[in-house]
Copies of this chain bind each other. A is one copy, B any other.
């Protein structure tokens, strides 16, 4: 169930590399990954879980409303992270030549299905 949704997001977003449904504790529920040389997706996911947990804490501390989305652009990748529930988030990694806007749109479109499957 989760895997099919994650695969859809990666396949349909041009330049998609991997998608992971993960807990803020860094433990993945499910992931879908295209093979990419020189990228330890597992390590990337866990490290980004740490970052996103910090952002979540900061946002709550500042009382600026719930965190909804975080995106990180580096020389090689885009990482888009979308908060799903208090415990889980969805992260998508795209190649820098990928379509950031489409990736974001797909994550938004699939959110209700993921929430339903999570509940």
Contacts and interface: CB of A to CB of B under 8 A. Distances in A.
Contacts of A58: 47-48, 50-51
Contacts of A71: 69-71
Contacts of A74: 59, 64-68
A72 B82 CA distance: 10
Q: Give the number of times this chain occurs in the complex, counting copies.
A: 2
A101 B59 CA distance: 22
A73 interface: yes
Contacts of A75: 64-66, 68
Interface in A40-56: 40, 43-44, 47-48, 50-51, 54-55
Contact of A72 (B69, B73, B77): B69
Nearest to A76: B65
B73 A70 contact: yes
A17 to B, nearest CB: 11
